[in-house]
Chain A
Amino acid sequence: GESVGLHLPTLSVQEGDNSIINCAYSNSASDYFIWYKQESGKGPQFIIDIRSNMDKRQGQRVTVLLNKTVKHLSLQIAATQPGDSAVYFCAENMNRDDKIIFGKGTRLHILP
């Protein structure tokens, strides 16, 4: 079965606040993790990734945190904007010989 899942199916955040989207994974052999954003009617769009030899990686307004001890991944979006409304998926693979597996997704709602 799937080894990647998400804690919350829906998250509502006030515009301008920070968003934190969480993800749990069960396969301790996973060594590569990716966050995707999917807007309505579109395909998943790469946001940021992280390898298991890191615990934090920052991009533009986004930060991914990896806690291997508890097998937890989070995506932080700073100063959330209306354009951030989407479904966010975490995904993983164990190594380059294996396909990327997706979790179920969290829908992010931005409140005005």
Chain B
Amino acid sequence: NAGVMQNPRHLVRRRGQEARLRCSPMKGHSHVYWYRQLPEEGLKFMVYLQKENIIDESGMPKERFSAEFPKEGPSILRIQQVVRGDSAAYFCASSPLPNYGYTFGSGTRLTVV
């Protein structure tokens, strides 16, 4: 069991470019959660998805951010027209049941220059 796989581990984007972050959940897990972490801070919830459905996106910024979890393939967190303030570590977690038994990936560290 490879655990939750996130890629890339590090991503550098120039302001105005798009960032795509990928998350492959653990085998058998159909619930995926994205969190953002600023340096020296806790993890802030962004979005909760189940296969092909967004369950809770209350933590997602209204503009430029979107997430999907297609029937086949990884979950994708997409940030359009990145700005310096988007620089952070983005963590994905998956679980076999809703909101219980999270396993986190190692994160993607996004740097916007």
- Enumerate chain A interface residues (CB-CB to B < 8 A): 2, 32, 36, 41-46, 89, 93, 96-105
Pick the contact of A96: B41, B43, B56, B99 (CB < 8 A): B99
Check: B69 CB closer than 8 A to any chain A CB.
Answer: no
Check: B98 CB closer than 8 A to any chain A CB.
Answer: yes
Decide if B41 touches A100 in the complex (CB within 8 Å).
no
Decide if A104 touches B97 in the complex (CB within 8 Å).
no
The chain A residue sitting closest to B100, CB to CB, is A96
* CA of A38 to CA of B33, assembled, Å: 17
- How many A-B pairs have beta carbons closer than 8 Å: the answer is 51
Decide if B100 touches A46 in the complex (CB within 8 Å).
no
- Enumerate chain B interface residues (CB-CB to A < 8 A): 4, 33, 35, 40-45, 48, 56, 59, 91, 93, 97-100, 102-107
Decide if B41 touches A99 in the complex (CB within 8 Å).
no
With a CB–CB cut-off of 8 A, which chain A residues contact B105? 43
Decide if B42 touches A2 in the complex (CB within 8 Å).
yes
The chain B residue sitting closest to A34, CB to CB, is B102
Decide if B102 touches A46 in the complex (CB within 8 Å).
yes
Decide if B99 touches A98 in the complex (CB within 8 Å).
yes
Decide if B42 touches A93 in the complex (CB within 8 Å).
no
The chain A residue sitting closest to B47, CB to CB, is A99
Decide if A99 touches B48 in the complex (CB within 8 Å).
yes
Given contacts A89-B42, A100-B45, list 15 more A-B pairs with CB under 8 A.
A2-B42, A36-B104, A43-B106, A44-B43, A46-B102, A46-B103, A89-B43, A93-B99, A96-B97, A96-B100, A98-B99, A99-B56, A100-B33, A102-B35, A102-B45
